[in-house]
Amino acid sequence: MTTVTVTMEVPSGGKTEDRSIFSGPSSAQIIEETEYVRKIRTTLEKIRNRMFKEEDGRGNARHKVDAEQSGNVQNGLDSTTDPTRLDLLLESMRRKDQQLLEMNKENEVLQIKV
C-alpha cells in the first residue's frame, strides 16, 4: 500500500501585504501611522491657533473701527449699513464655518483611526 502526502507551499514573495492578512500590521507600520496622526493633529492645532489669532487681531482692530464708526454715525455716516460690506463679512463667516466643519470631520476620522 502506498501513502500519498499532500503538502501545500505558500510562496514567500516577500510581500508584507499577504502576511498582514494573517498577522495584522507590523509594529513599524503602527508606529508610522501614529506619527502621521500626531503630525496631522499638530498641523491642525497650528491652523486653529492661527485662525483664532486672526480673529483676535480683528477684534482689537474692531474696537478702533467701532470708535471710528461711532464718530461717523454722529456725522450722519454709517458704513455698517453698506450692503456690500455686510455681504463680504457674511461670506467670510461662511468660509470660516466651512473650514471649521471640515477640520472637525477630519479630526473625527483621525480619532477613529487611532
Structure confidence by residue, pLDDT tens digits, 49-72: 888 887 666 655 555 555 555 555
* Backbone CA torsion sign across 98, 99, 101, 102: positive
The answer to the question of residue 8 being in a domain is no
Interhelix angle 83-113/27-74, rounded to 10 degrees, is: 160
Grid cell for residue 80: 455698517
Q: Is residue 107 one of the residues assigned to a domain? A: yes
Question: Which amino acid is it at 13?
Answer: G
| Least reliable range by pLDDT among 67-71, 88-92, 106-110 | 67-71
Q: Residue with C-alpha cell 483664532?
A: 52
Asked if residue 17 is part of any domain, the answer here is: no
- Position 92 in a domain: yes
Quote the number of domains for the chain.
1
Q: What is the DSSP string of 12-52?
A: --S-HHHHHHHH-S-HHHHHHHHHHHHHHHHHHHHHHHHHH
**pLDDT digits over 11-31, tens only?**
555 555 555 556 777 888 889
User: What is the share, in percent, of the chain residues with pLDDT greater than 70?
Assistant: 57
Asked whether residue 105 is assigned to any structural domain, the reply reads yes
* pTM for the structure as a whole: 0.32
CA neighbor of 22 nearest in space, from 12, 34, 8, 32: 12
Letter for the amino acid at 5? T
Asked, for residue 12, whether it belongs to a domain, the answer is no
